[in-house]
Every structure is written in C-alpha cells, then in structure tokens.
Amino acid sequence: MRDLHNFPRVSLAHLPTPLEDAPRLSAALGGPRILIKRDDLTGLALGGNKVRKLELLLADALAQGADTVLTTGAVDSNHCRVTAAAAARLGLRCVLVLAARHEAPPLQGNLLLDRLFGAEVHLFPAPVPTAGNNRLLELTAAVRARGGKPYMFPAGGSTALGVLGYALTVEELLGQLAARHLTADYLVVASGTGGTHAGLLLGTTLFSPSFTTLAVNVIEADNVALSERTRAVYTEGAALLGLPENSARPAFTVRAGYVGGGYGVLSPGGAEAIRLLARTEGILLDPVYTGKAMAGLIDLVRTGELAADKTVIFLHTGGAPALFTQADTLAQQAALVSH
C-alpha cells in the first residue's frame, strides 16, 4: 500500500486548521458538545475545504508540466474560486466553466473573485449539467491544440488524488482531539460532489476514528446519485492508495431533506442556522453548503439523534462569499433587522 504522506503536495493551506468549541451554540440547542473544525480558515483566497484537494491536484499538474488548469462548477463555486487563486499563485493559467441561471450573472461573490484572480470564465446554462462537462473537454482540447499543456479536473476536485486531502484531515483531526484528551461521536459535513465525504471515509479506513461521519446532502433531493458518486470516488482513492480490494469500506450515511428549493437556493433551515451561528459564536456559514449542513445538525439535535451526552464535530467547509450574493433572501428568511 502506498503511504498517504508520500504523495507530492504544494503548500497552499494553513494547516492544521483550528478545532474550536462552540459552547454558546450547544447551549442554545440544549444539545451535545459541538466542536467546529475550521476549514473555512485554510487561508487561500478566503479559505474553504477545496484548498486541501488542490495541494495534491496542482502538485500533480506541475509534475506533468501543465501551464493551464481547467475545472468546472456553479457560478458561485468555492472550488473554482480557490482554483483560480491557486493558479495565480503558481503562475498557471486558469479556465473555469461555470453553470449560471442567467446569461449575465451579477459580478459579485465568488464570480467577482474568479475575475479578480485572472481566470478565463465560460458560462453555460445551469439546468444542463452535461453542457458544462462537454465545454470543459472542448476547452481542454483547444488549449492542447494551441500548444498549451492543460490539466483538467472535475467539479469539487473530486478525484482519486483530490480526496486524499481529506483522508489526511482525519489524521489531523485525531491528533487535535488526542492533544485535548477528547473523543468525538459524530462528524457532520456538507456533501455536494461527494469528494470531501469520500476522503473522510478513506481516512476512516486508514485511521479508525471513534466518530461516525454524517454527510448532509446539499445538492439534490435524492440521495441515490450522490451516494453512488461518493462510493465511486472512494473506490478510486482506495485503488490509488493500493488498498486491498477486499478491504471493508466504512458504512456511510448521506442525509437528505435539507436541500430546500434546490442546490444554491437558501433554505429556511439554512437561514436559521446562519443566523444562529453568527449570533452565538460569531462564525459565518454560507447559504449553499454549510448553512444547510448546520441545519441538518440542528435538526438531528432537536429530534434526539444527536443526544446531549455526545460530542459532535461540524466540519466548516467555508463559502462566505456566497452570503453577499443572497443578501436580500437572507435578510427576509433570517429576520435580520437593524438595531
């Protein structure tokens, strides 16, 4: 089996990220001890979980002599924002293929930052996901045709190599818990492309943590497709590491019911979660990922599944720029008023 630590990485993230208690949130919910793993503080371009994946992906791009990186996501993609920033830091061109609901989306949030970092942006209609992948392939071919050296990866950096970043995170987290003489029962995380969750599952296979990972589906109403993607990228990551084919994959849970009106649409539960964490802990969630994942955590506390005598870690995957793209909706749903 290949040593997880021997895969080349470029230094992009500020690691380890803090593991913080959230006592006022716990008290407000009357529930378990809650710790927040602050991967919103990975450092690069306002942070987020994708920076960990990019350390491996872009090391591979440089090793292959690439001069252009290409990837895809939603118009307000956190993954695309940090990819654009990382490319700028490493002297690479960046081409982004972004799904947009409108032909000319407002230049704000992550889209504004993509442009600021110098990315070449191509838009496609949001309801047609295959259009984005097709356009990505076309642009990759165009870079190669003009003599460039492209390096392409899918939405979320959810590849066999990318997910190793979150296998390493399990080891990092276990070290932080041990230093504080703590154990945890659950780890709650948002899941969209399935890569972060798959990496955490790989870390579970490698390091046998005490906690169970609960992934909150923030992308679609049906868990089937997301579960299949998670399973597939886990299998690819395990094969890259050389894990035996008969090694047991951890049982995993993807929770549905928190996506609200759809991917990227602020839900009432997400709005409540954003407001509650801001006013109890001074920590910002986002309307696309972490707000909905925290809404799932809150619901599981209220229904008693996350009992008061347990310790729960919330993996904060970042995304604050999206707050500013949904300010009006957030103000209405979270009952924000002037004081």
Write out pLDDT tens, residues 97-111.
999 988 889 999 999
Mean pLDDT of the 62-73 span: 97
Q: In Å, what is the CA distance from 150 to each residue of 65, 207, 243, 315?
A: 9, 35, 30, 32
d(CA 151, CA 201): 26
Known catalytic residues are 77
Identify how many contiguous H helices and E strands the chain contains and give both numbers: 11, 10
Mean pLDDT of the 170-174 span: 98
d(CA 69, CA 58): 8
Res 333 pLDDT > 60: yes
Please say whether the beta carbons of 119 and 85 come within 8 A.
Answer: no
In angstroms, the first-to-last Cα distance of the chain is 59
H helix or E strand, kind and range, residue 164: helix 164-179
pLDDT at 117 (0 to 100): 98
Res 246 pLDDT > 80: no
Res 271 pLDDT > 50: yes
DSSP string, 301-312: HHTTSS-TTSEE
DSSP string, 112-144: HHHHHTT-EEEEEETT-HHHHHHHHHHHHHHHH
Res 95 pLDDT > 90: yes
Res 339 pLDDT > 50: no
pLDDT tens digits for 228-243? 999 999 999 999 999 9
CA–centroid distance for 25 within its chain: 22
Q: In Å, what is the CA distance from 123 to each residue of 120, 128, 135, 193?
A: 10, 11, 9, 19
Band (pLDDT 50/70/90 cuts) for residue 129 is low
Mean pLDDT of the 51-78 span: 97
- Paired tokens of 259: 């996506």
40-49, 98-107, 166-175, 189-198: the lowest-pLDDT one: 98-107
Domain with CATH 3.40.50.1100 in the chain: 4-48+159-333, 50-157
Res 28 pLDDT > 90: yes
Domain 4-48+159-333 fold is Rossmann fold (3.40.50)
d(CA 260, CA 256): 10
Band (pLDDT 50/70/90 cuts) for residue 245 is confident
Average pLDDT, the chain: 94
Q: In Å, what is the CA distance from 135 to each residue of 23, 81, 159?
A: 47, 19, 19
Amino acid identity for residue 322 in this structure: A
CATH of domain 50-157: 3.40.50.1100
Mean pLDDT of the 90-94 span: 98
277 phi, psi to nearest 5 deg: -70, -35
pLDDT at 195 (0 to 100): 96
Res 253 pLDDT > 50: yes
pLDDT at 51 (0 to 100): 98
pLDDT at 128 (0 to 100): 54
